[in-house]
Amino acid sequence: MTLLILGLVLFLGIHSTRVFADGWRTRFIAERGANTWKGLYTVVSLLGFVLLIWGYGAARQDPVVLWASPTWTRHLAALLTLPAFVLLAAAYVPGNGIKARLRHPMVLGVKIWAFSHLLANNTLADLLLFGGFLVWAVLSFRAARGRDRAAGTQYPPGRLLMTLVTVVAGLAAWAGFAFWAHAAWIGVRPFG
């Protein structure tokens, strides 16, 4: 469990600098340069990600069960992740209406992903992993919206074609993950 916690602290910590230490981040970049920041951000993110994956895998070998999860919650979680994948795609497909409307679709996708996995999973490691990501996503979204308001950020309106491309890309990614990659990479079949 220690590796999982350390991984979460590193990964979510570096991803929380805009939430809790935006002034420090700005000064760091001003003093040392954007590339130094990007390098540090990448190294800490990758190290944290490796540790949380390793720690979560180790914790799954000797789980501490906190509550009973009915089987139907797995199916609900699999369906809830569908909009999460569409929101993830919306963060990267330029000119789509989803990003124009929601502004920070990736963080909203993380919220849905984390919440859905909290519904379906029932161990202490699950609570730490998915609960940690859910809390991070809530705080990150709030901070990002606050920065947008303070800066008067305007997002260009989306185009229908790009919105359709976003939805199709999200659906395809969800289907690939739900029906193949989740079982291959994580060892759990969402619909099995």
**Is a pLDDT exceeding 90 seen at residue 61?**
yes
Distance CA 183, CA 46 (A): 23
186: pLDDT confidence band, cut at 50, 70 and 90? confident
Residues 127-134, mean pLDDT to the nearest whole number = 98
pTM of the model: 0.92
Q: What are phi and psi of 154, to 5 degrees?
A: -115, 135
What is the C-alpha separation between 108 and 174, in angstroms, rounded?
A: 16
> What's the CA gap between 45 and 92, in Å, rounded?
20
CB 47 within 8 A of CB 3: no
pLDDT digits 0-9 by tens, 12-57: 999 999 999 999 999 999 999 999 999 999 999 999 999 999 999 9
**pLDDT confidence of residue 189:** 86
Q: How many CB atoms lie within 10 A of CB 61?
A: 7
Measured distance CA(121)–CA(61) in Å, rounded: 14
Residue that has been written with the tokens 């809790």 in this structure: 20
Residue 187's pLDDT band, with cuts at 50, 70 and 90, is confident
Q: What are phi and psi of 186, to 5 degrees?
A: -110, -20
Q: Over the chain, what is the mean pLDDT?
A: 95
| Comparison of pLDDT for 46 and 78, the residue scoring more | 46
Give the pLDDT of residue 112: 98
CA 4 to chain CA centroid, nearest Å? 16
DSSP state of 183: I
Residue 192 confidence (pLDDT) = 67
